[in-house]
Chains A and B, each alone.
Chain A
Amino acid sequence: MSFLDLKNVTKIYPNGTKAVHETSLSVDEGEFMVFVGPSGCGKSTLLRMVAGLEDITDGDINLDGKLINNVDPSERDVAMVFQNYALYPHMNVYNNLAYGLKNRGIDKKTIEQKVNDAAKLLQISEFLQRKPSMLSGGQRQRVAMGRAIVRNPKIFLFDEPLSNLDAKLRIQMRLEIKKLQQKVGVTSIFVTHDQVEAMTLADRLAVINDGIIEQLGTPIEIYNNPKSLFVAGFIGSPQMNFLDGNLKNKTLSAEGFEIRDINSDFEGDVTLGIRPEHLIQSDNALINLKVELVEQLGSDNLVYGQLKNKNDFCYRCPGNQKVENGTELNLQIDENKYYIFDKSSGKRVN
């Protein structure tokens, strides 16, 4: 049994909303797990069930070899960082960190030592006497982290902790969280709807849609090998291009081109997915793109345009390649990196 073990965990809210369908998941000790998915997909609900803040409708949760279904949150030895930090407004930073330790009956001297250590680690030592209202967003974020770290819990839970920060700070804190987690080595679950955050932080990633884990794996596995239309569309930026087509006798015919010798026996309507970065310009091309807009990011150019059938399409090329608006590009798919999904079920078929 792994460190955290969810078995057929289900959540039905009293109003009948089924927020989490039967979900099984294992997290190893020291692992950084990320739940990612669109708004309302049930990520927070799943996380809060691990914390004990929501009752479990059905299923079992084991933490460190112990069934915790009915263990009170205060006894679970988990720490959570909330989106709006939920710092204690009437206590100074020192007491914010110390409160959880005091409740565990630890003696004053040890508390002082632990708080000071955590404060040093997070570079908040100079703010210890301040109230949270006198701190900046980034500093509050650090205090919230400190409050979690100082107790040395079995597991860290993060519920979109970076979404209140500005873009630059978000990237910085993202790095810090990752470094910190590696240094402290605590098992962590991080919830986000930002796929870049998810990709960069995760050891393993669970892509959740409508209360179901669509795919579980390392970020690279999921990027290279999405198992469903939803995952393919959700992971990767800019989004994967999708084209309608039909698969028959191992031949895919889309509007304007054909691909032969596909390793799939599926027959019927399909969706063809091609990532913008998996295209190259070539003379014997499949795809003809009329350029409408070019975004120059410096390292890369994002080329947006339309195909002959008016389908929107995106192509990503190196930044040194010059592309003019209004021109037509001939594009070839790089090394057969394309994905084919059953149009009706969204399942991957190649």
Chain B
Amino acid sequence: MKIKPLQIIAHIILILGVLLMIVPIWISFASSSHDSVTILTEGMKFHLGDQLARNYNEVLNEKGGWSEEVTAAKMFINSFIMALGIATLKVIISAMSAYALVYYRFKLAVPIFWLIFITLLVPLEVRIFPSYKIVSDLGLTNSYTGLILPLVASATATFFFRQFYKTIPDELLESAKLDGANAWSFFIDFLVPLSKTMIAAMFIFMFVYGYSQYLWPLIMTTAEEYWTVVMGMKIIYTESYEGVALPRTAERFAYIILSMIPPVLVVVFLQKWFIKGLIQTEK
């Protein structure tokens, strides 16, 4: 096979792009395997050191916070639960509301759709006080429900599902109806399997969205047992050091690397579904 110059250039650009993404992560990972003194004195590292196990063990299991009770492992679990809940509910709710908007031709479908769409203009940060008020009146502060519930409606996902459903030919619905399908079975037997790719993609986006929430958990949680990863990140950077203790830079890197794992796992798990849907069009 002859390689054309254009291909070489394309590959160089792609490789540069990959390096741009990978190198910082590698540096963080390599740095997380040295001890803090080395990093403070010699700067960040390109090669692995010998403190890997110790640093990670320390990060995961050391009890921190004011009460000295919460561990990073607990924060990871919290964030994972929160992101999982948000992504799952967001996907379910938006798929179902898009279904209602597209297939039930009630009079207000269009205005309601635009109303949903307009909520994109008021993200949680803008309405954080009213949201907090509602959730606290409901007595949901310091609970997973409180962390998840206010974030589960998604205009973006509703929009994407709606656009997708609109491309499904009417005959499919009609012929399913004649085959005895009711509204529910059409959703489960047709729309869900047909939008597999869409669901996988939305789930990934929404998981990352939920995982990276900062302000909401910060306001919502006073009990340390509900702290999340992103909050933890803030905390480890603003640790106060009494006396002669050094900043624990190596552990910070270890924490960052660990915090990346849950979203990466989700992508890895769903990618097969995702790619399969992308390459074989089923319509």
Contact = CB atoms under 8 A, between A and B. Distances in A.
Interface of A: 51-53, 72-76, 78-80, 82, 84, 86, 88-90, 99-100, 103-104, 131, 133, 147, 151
B43 interface: no
Contacts of A72: 177
B60 interface: no
Q: How big is the B interface, by class?
A: 20 to 34
B282 A90 contact: yes
A90 B193 contact: yes
Given A89-B194, A89-B283, A82 B179 contact: no
15 contacts: A52-B178, A73-B174, A73-B178, A74-B178, A74-B179, A75-B180, A76-B178, A80-B174, A86-B174, A88-B176, A89-B282, A99-B176, A103-B181, A131-B282, A151-B179
Contacts of A74: 177-182
Contacts of A86: 169, 171-172, 174-175
A38 to B, nearest CB: 22
Most interface-central of B169, B171, B182, B282 (chain A CB within 10 A): B171
Interface in B186-210: 189-190, 193-194
Contacts of B176: 88, 99
B187 to A, nearest CB: 14
Given A74-B179, A151-B179, 15 more contacts: A51-B178, A53-B174, A53-B177, A72-B177, A74-B178, A74-B182, A76-B178, A82-B175, A84-B169, A86-B169, A86-B171, A88-B176, A88-B190, A89-B194, A103-B179
B57 interface: no
Contacts of B182: 74
Nearest to A90: B193
Interface of B: 169, 171-172, 174-182, 185, 189-190, 193-194, 281-283
A99 B189 contact: yes
Those 10 A-B pairs whose CB atoms lie nearest each other, nearest first: A103-B180, A86-B171, A100-B179, A86-B175, A74-B180, A90-B193, A73-B177, A82-B171, A89-B282, A53-B174
